Chain A
Amino acid sequence: MKNLIINLCSFLLILTIVITSILTVNYLSINYTKIIDTKTEILFLGDSNMECAINDSVILKSKNLGKSAESYYYSYLKLKKILESENSINKVFLSFSPHNIYENGWFLNESNLQTGIGKYYPFMDNSDFNFVLSKKPKAVLTSLPRILSRVKDNLIRFVVRKPISYGGYIDLHRNILGEVKAKLKNDEELPFFKIPENHEISNEEIIYLKKIEQLCYKKNVNLYLINLPKRKEILNYKKYGIDNYYEYYLSNLKEIPLIDLSHIEMPDDYYGDFVHLSSKGSHCFSNFLQKNGLKSILNDFAKKTRVRKVICF
């Protein structure tokens, strides 16, 4: 019995050492890899709104790292990693919509959390790690398989020379506006977008939004919150909570500039659904931003204009 316990403990110890070595090698290799080009000056971060709206090949010296259902926690980790080594970034646009600040489950969903830890643990410092540990200790402590799975994926990517993706523009070929209009009318669940169940503010999202603000301030980077184009049907839908969102912004976050382009009117086929621009829509929108050089947007912001009409040919 004593021999069994000794051998078992020895085996587990060796296994732990091997796994720790694997994670360390992965950690170092990720940390020594650049996420973006050194010539990038404008960074777009956030969720699928951003992912589908901004075609960064159209906007000069920009990079879109938006990712579907991305919590501000991960946006912060990415930004922190990028600003550590890139001095060229001078503007960060972060998608900021009602569903970003209400309880959306993006951070606290256990499966998402474990996947996120697997991908982003090399970017975490002690405070970031302790934050997730305090919120979901069981999920964190059982995330080893997800981390190892991510390491395996990274190894495969290394072999096939495919870079790790931290988000990016998606050329969305979706056209379900008719379908979602009908579903919204019947108060049904919408595909590809979850309307917040309540308007309870997510503490976790706000904490990390503020951390993004502090980080940008520290690194002398201008941060802009951006409410990207959405259909009026969802903006006028009570459950979406646009009024509470403006109220919260004005009471708690107004020191961070908000560029509200949500009310831009575009043709129906520019939208994939209520909140995501289609390929045509994102091309038009991105060209609009590029043509106007973003400057006038920021000037208009200074005038606090909320509604603009955009016509694209």
Chain B
Amino acid sequence: MIFNSIDFAIFLPIVFIIYWLVNKNLKLQNIVILIASYIFYGWWDWKFLLLIIFSSTLDYTIGIALSKNKNEKIRKLLLFTSITINLGFLGFFKYYNFFLDNFVDAFSVFGSRLEVDKLNIILPVGISFYTFQTLSYSIDVYKNKLKPTNDIISFFTFVSFFPQLVAGPIERASNLLPQFYVKRIFNYNKAIDGLRQILWGLFKKVVIADNCAELANEIFNNYNDYNGITLIFGAIFFSFQIYGDFSGYSDIAIGTSRLFGFNLLQNFSYPYLSRDISEFWRKWHISLNTWFKDYLYIPLGGSKGGNFMKIRNVSIIFLVSGFWHGANWTFITWGALNALFFLPLILSGNNRNNLDIIAEDKKYPSIREVIQVIKTFIITTFAWIFFRSDNVMMAYNYINKIFSRSIFNFPNFNDKYLVLEVLTMIMLQIIIEWHGRKNNHPFEYLNEKIQTKIFRWGLYIIIAIIILTFTGNQQEFIYFQF
């Protein structure tokens, strides 16, 4: 069940009504969410439920065992069990065939060709997300940062909470789990703001991402037929596709959660308005990056120690982050490139500049800020080329073709009208996000700024009609494949 579908449009109101009808009873509230989450997840394939229930049971049990054991060796063993089994499942479903292929390729260097049977493995939707979510629980309980829960319903609901189950944000147990211990009271302002955030999320997903996808797919899949300048546009369209897709999903997830009285972590904070790569990585997929920072980067030593340690730790984080995205060398290369962009800042101690919001006290950015934003956008888009390409060779050929003489030609798009429409919508998105950059989502700003209800509603109606009109070829959320 995807968010922009009729199925979800029917599912959500039903769950919403039942949930608030039973709001006097905390346990019933949690049970309703749990059942709804399992229905939501099982809609893809009921077999996926077996894995998530197993994973939930494992970490629930380990959490209780950790609290009962004071012996450090046993506690380490319990944590090790949780990490191994969870990452083991993730590794098997996601990376088995990748490692097999690379092993076979490596063996062929010696002149032999290994005949192996690849397994037809279906990747359970959301496994990368909920695995990290449950791991954060085990690790925090081990470190005594979090009290383990005896409330099995609350824990299972925390793991499978449907708005953020399949594509994040990756919630920390310390943030989300306690919210299941208290009865949620209906808050009108929270719910209505949740609806606004859902609307904005749908705009980014349906209008921006899906339509950029059509253009990006056409250009990337037939890049030999296009000139350099068109390929640049292709890369830009992909940049907006992945941003619209992923941040749109996050907005819908967060907005939906607010309808039920929950607060999720912000996952994107206008990353394309970043002035350097370090700011970009503070604002892109925040939940994953902070997870890596807290559970990998800091335990490795973080930015303490000499340059070698800094280089090592930063490289590990970005390579692992790349690898998390998928079993392909393109993702690892994408991670490596970002590490390369990031390293100069951290080595020169400039990775903590630009902590404020761009043009915070001004209406418009300065020329310097505009140049910084454009530079950051260019390097991130350059890295996205690897992310999007089928393999590293294709990315290399794509980039090679960009930097040919044809970069000076006029773009040779097949569907010029679609390009104009998409560019117009992208400009609209940038303008709206620019004005809302100080808020969690831009409609929060619009709600504060436009006092007259009729104008506010007029704007929302226009956005809703644009969403309906531009519902093009429905594309699957990119991050479902991770």
A-to-B contact residues, CB < 8 Å: 1, 3-4, 7-8, 11, 14-15, 18-19, 22, 142, 144-145, 148-149, 151-152, 156
User: Which chain B residues in 386-441 approach chain A with CB under 8 Å?
Assistant: 417
Cross-chain contact B469 with A145 (CB below 8 angstroms): yes
Q: Does B460 contact A (CB under 8 A)?
A: yes
Contacts of B472 in A (CB 8 A): 149
Cross-chain contact A18 with B465 (CB below 8 angstroms): yes
Cross-chain contact B192 with A7 (CB below 8 angstroms): yes
Q: Does B341 contact A (CB under 8 A)?
A: no
Q: Does B92 contact A (CB under 8 A)?
A: no
Q: What are the nearest 10 A-B pairs in CB distance?
A: A145-B471, A148-B469, A1-B186, A152-B469, A148-B468, A145-B468, A4-B191, A149-B469, A3-B188, A15-B461
12 A-B interface contacts by CB (under 8 A): A1-B20, A4-B188, A7-B192, A8-B195, A11-B457, A18-B461, A19-B465, A142-B6, A145-B468, A145-B469, A148-B468, A149-B469
Secondary structure at the B interface, as helix, strand, loop or mixed, is helix
Q: Does B176 contact A (CB under 8 A)?
A: no
Q: Does B464 contact A (CB under 8 A)?
A: yes
Cross-chain contact B461 with A14 (CB below 8 angstroms): yes
User: Which chain B residues in 435-482 approach chain A with CB under 8 Å?
Assistant: 457, 460-461, 464-465, 468-472
Residue of B with least CB distance to A2: B188
The smallest beta-carbon distance between A191 and chain B, in angstroms, is 16
User: What string of 1s and 0s marks CB contacts (under 8 Å) between B181-201 and chain A?
Assistant: 000001010011001000000
The smallest beta-carbon distance between B9 and chain A, in angstroms, is 10
Cross-chain contact B461 with A149 (CB below 8 angstroms): no
B-to-A contact residues, CB < 8 Å: 6, 20, 186, 188, 191-192, 195, 417, 457, 460-461, 464-465, 468-472
User: Which residue, A8, A14, A145, A151, has most C-beta atoms of chain B within 10 A?
Assistant: A145
Residue of B with least CB distance to A19: B465
Contacts of B464 in A (CB 8 A): 15
Complex formed: what's the CA distance from A11 to B459 in Å?
12
The smallest beta-carbon distance between A88 and chain B, in angstroms, is 34
Contacts of B457 in A (CB 8 A): 11, 14
Complex formed: what's the CA distance from A253 to B36 in Å?
55
Contacts of A156 in B (CB 8 A): 417
Secondary structure at the A interface, as helix, strand, loop or mixed, is helix
Given A144-B468, A152-B469: A4 touches B461 (CB 8 Å cut-off): no
Cross-chain contact A11 with B20 (CB below 8 angstroms): no
The smallest beta-carbon distance between A60 and chain B, in angstroms, is 34
User: 14 other contacts beyond A14-B461, A142-B6, with CB at 8 A cut-off?
Assistant: A1-B188, A4-B186, A4-B192, A11-B460, A11-B461, A14-B457, A18-B461, A144-B468, A145-B469, A145-B471, A148-B469, A149-B469, A149-B471, A156-B417
Contacts of B470 in A (CB 8 A): 145, 149
Residue of B with least CB distance to A11: B457
Residue of B with least CB distance to A12: B464
Complex formed: what's the CA distance from A151 to B466 in Å?
12
Residue of B with least CB distance to A142: B6
Contacts of A142 in B (CB 8 A): 6
Contacts of B188 in A (CB 8 A): 1, 3-4
Complex formed: what's the CA distance from A11 to B199 in Å?
13
Complex formed: what's the CA distance from A11 to B196 in Å?
12
The smallest beta-carbon distance between B6 and chain A, in angstroms, is 6
Cross-chain contact B186 with A19 (CB below 8 angstroms): no
Complex formed: what's the CA distance from A11 to B463 in Å?
13
Complex formed: what's the CA distance from A142 to B195 in Å?
22
The smallest beta-carbon distance between A121 and chain B, in angstroms, is 15
Complex formed: what's the CA distance from A234 to B468 in Å?
43
Contacts of A3 in B (CB 8 A): 188
Complex formed: what's the CA distance from A1 to B192 in Å?
10
Contacts of B468 in A (CB 8 A): 19, 144-145, 148
Complex formed: what's the CA distance from A206 to B96 in Å?
53
Contacts of B195 in A (CB 8 A): 8
Complex formed: what's the CA distance from A180 to B364 in Å?
60
Contacts of B461 in A (CB 8 A): 11, 14-15, 18
User: Which residue, A1, A11, A14, A18, has most C-beta atoms of chain B within 10 A?
Assistant: A1
Complex formed: what's the CA distance from A4 to B191 in Å?
8
The smallest beta-carbon distance between A146 and chain B, in angstroms, is 8
Contacts of A1 in B (CB 8 A): 20, 186, 188
